[in-house]
């Protein structure tokens, strides 16, 4: 969970950050400037998260272990439907 | 071959010993000359007689003295109240047993009766063995492994890790050709098509399937991108699910750095994998539903969060305005009170001033003559003939003239 001020990556971290922001806005007595800055950050994360959600091309990879023990990733282009 | 004849009573056969022994093997000529046959020949004949005389049988009884040797062969005795039968199960068959039977366990064994020629031992060569009590050997193996893992603390509820709510990559360990994979992919595509799916194919039944599954889990763990892993297969018979009761699978799940959802697809039989997994799903589809969120629901949640943020801002702005208004009102009140207090003091001072004022005397009926320069005319001498002056009374001034003829003495 990312509650820090660092830039969260990934859907999970972004939504956690938005939740933390909402909790602060609802709970703490903030200066209006700080509150507005937090709000803008939250909206930005929400937009990024929505951008992820709009991705509709499911990517399927197959993990195969080679003879030397290394792992290769093979894209499965046409998912079996 | 007609070994049966050796034991058959038929008197017609008896004199024809020579032909009988010749038919049984290479020792025939030698034995024919001495009129007797060697031990090994008897045993070989007896063995052949037993093996051909008795078809493969299912035998039931109580098992005792089960011992598994380093070679992998297992020796045991089957018994009932009146008799006992020594048996062996060779490595190839014995390694398929889910567990060694317990002492005294009621079992059914399928195999053939034979003779171990070197020792002349009558024995039963078992090909299959089933326990007929306590749910059988599968159950026994299950309970043993469960107790072992439990003792290690691997089944404790507090070990269960929470699943990520919004994973963007999901690992799947299952057969690449099974219906389970198809079902999981369909659900993910429907709910969360942005997901990256990492498939680590594994055989899920047959010899070595457990190891295959464990390796696939390790592969996903090493690759490191999956945020949650689904391990499963479609339903099957209890024997088909056995790989999911394998200790190596249990340990791979426990060691997986990200949460694992088991989806063995069997509502009734719980597997060891189910017990160790962080979440047990009844079917592969259910596992996928648990693994990824529904896209439209996530969007709703996001919107709800932003709405909450917005109203929190609005509320705090309102509070701020209210606070300012309250502060202003308080200031006004304080200022007014201050002014009021000042006014009171002024009033009191004025009263006191008034009391001291000569004008106060006017109220009591006195009047004051004043000349044009507002000097008080106190004595007779101050008045001139026909002098104009004003008489200051309580509520104003009266213009007057001093008349000499009426001047009193």
- A22–B305 C-beta distance less than 8 A: yes
Chain B, nearest residue to A65 by Cα: B219
State phi, psi for B389 to the nearest 5 degrees.
Answer: -150, 175
User: Contact, B207 vs B235, CB < 8 A?
Assistant: no
CB-CB: which of A29, A35, A76 is closest to B313?
Answer: A35
What's the 3-state SS for A19-61?
HHHHHHHHHCCCCHHHHHHHHHHHHHHHHHHHHHHCCCCCEEE
Number of domains in chain A: 1
Predicted pLDDT of residue B32: 52
List the domain range (segments joined by +) for residue A69. Answer: 1-81
Q: Using CB atoms and an 8 Å cut-off, which of residues 189-218 of chain B contact chain A?
A: 189, 193-201, 215-216
Enumerate the residues of chain B whose CB falls inside 8 A of the CB of residue A49: 298, 302
Decide if pLDDT at A29 tops 80: no
Q: Could you tell me the CA-to-CA distances from B408 to B214, B270, B381, B402 in Å, in that order?
A: 142, 139, 12, 11
> How confident is the prediction along chain B (409 residues), in pLDDT tens digits per residue?
444 444 444 444 444 444 444 444 455 545 455 688 899 999 999 999 999 999 999 999 999 999 999 999 999 999 999 999 999 999 999 988 888 998 999 999 999 999 999 999 999 999 999 888 777 787 888 888 999 999 999 999 999 999 999 999 999 999 998 889 999 999 999 999 999 999 999 999 888 899 999 999 999 999 999 999 999 988 777 777 888 989 999 999 999 999 999 998 766 678 899 999 999 998 999 999 999 999 888 989 999 999 998 888 888 777 777 878 888 888 888 888 888 888 888 788 777 776 666 666 777 788 888 888 888 888 888 888 888 898 888 888 899 988 866 555 4
Rounded Cα distance between B315 and B54, Å, is 92
Enumerate the residues of chain B whose CB falls inside 8 A of the CB of residue A21: 309
CATH no. of B4-130: 2.40.50.140
Buried b (16+ CB within 10 A) or exposed e, B376-404: ebeeeeeeeeebebbebeeeeeeeeebee
Give the ipTM.
0.78
When pLDDT is cut at 50, 70 and 90, the band that residue A4 belongs to is: very low
Three-state DSSP at B393 gives: strand
Q: State the distance between the two ends of chain B, measured CA to CA, in whole angstroms.
A: 193
Three-state DSSP at A2 gives: coil
Enumerate the residues of chain A whose CB falls inside 8 A of the CB of residue B284: none
Quick one: fold of B140-292? Rossmann fold (3.40.50)
């Amino acid at each position: 969970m990312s509650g820090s001020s660092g830039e969260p990556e990934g859907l999970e971290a972004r939504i956690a950050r938005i939740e933390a922001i909402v909790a602060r806005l609802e709970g703490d007595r903030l200066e209006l400037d700080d509150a507005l800055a937090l709000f803008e950050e939250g909206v930005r994360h929400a937009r990024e998260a929505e951008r992820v959600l709009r991705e509709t091309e499911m990517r399927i990879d197959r993990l195969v272990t080679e003879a030397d023990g290394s792992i290769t990733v093979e894209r499965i282009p046409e998912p079996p439907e | 071959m007609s070994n049966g004849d050796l034991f058959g009573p038929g008197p017609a056969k008896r004199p024809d010993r020579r032909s009988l022994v010749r038919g049984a093997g290479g020792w025939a000529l030698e034995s024919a000359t001495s009129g007797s046959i060697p031990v090994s020949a008897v045993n070989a004949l007896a063995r052949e007689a037993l093996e051909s005389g008795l078809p493969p049988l299912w035998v039931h009884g109580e098992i005792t003295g089960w011992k598994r040797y380093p070679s992998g062969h297992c020796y045991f005795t089957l018994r009932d109240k009146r008799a006992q039968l020594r048996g062996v199960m060779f490595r190839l068959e014995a390694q398929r047993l889910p567990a060694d039977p317990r002492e005294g366990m009621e079992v059914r064994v399928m195999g053939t009766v034979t003779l171990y020629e070197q020792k002349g031992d009558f024995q039963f060569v078992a090909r299959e063995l089933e326990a007929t009590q306590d749910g059988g050997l599968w159950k026994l193996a299950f309970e043993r492994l469960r107790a072992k893992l439990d003792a290690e603390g691997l089944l404790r509820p507090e070990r269960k890790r929470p699943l990520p709510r919004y994973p963007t990559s999901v690992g799947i360990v299952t057969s690449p050709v099974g219906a389970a994979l198809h079902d999981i992919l369909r659900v993910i595509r429907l709910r969360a098509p942005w997901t990256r799916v990492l498939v680590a194919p594994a055989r899920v039944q047959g010899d070595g399937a457990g190891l295959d599954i464990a390796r696939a889990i390790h592969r996903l763990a090493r690759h490191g991108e999956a945020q949650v892993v689904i391990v499963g297969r479609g339903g099957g018979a209890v024997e088909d699910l056995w790989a999911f009761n394998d200790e190596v699978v249990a340990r791979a799940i426990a060691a997986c750095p990200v949460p694992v959802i088991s989806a063995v697809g069997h509502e009734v039989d719980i597997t060891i994998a189910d017990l160790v997994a962080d979440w047990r799903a009844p079917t592969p589809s259910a596992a996928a539903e648990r693994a990824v969120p529904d896209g439209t629901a996530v969007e709703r949640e996001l919107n709800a969060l932003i709405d909450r943020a917005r109203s929190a801002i609005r509320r705090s702005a309102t509070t701020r305005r209210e606070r300012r208004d309250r502060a202003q009102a308080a200031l006004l009140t304080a200022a007014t009170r201050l002014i009021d207090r000042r006014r009171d003091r002024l009033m009191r001072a004025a009263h006191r001033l008034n009391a001291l004022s000569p004008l106060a005397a006017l109220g009591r009926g006195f009047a004051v003559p004043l000349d044009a320069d507002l000097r008080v005319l106190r004595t007779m001498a101050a008045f001139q003939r026909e002098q104009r002056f004003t008489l200051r009374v309580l509520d104003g001034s009266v213009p007057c003239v001093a008349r000499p003829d009426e001047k009193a003495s």
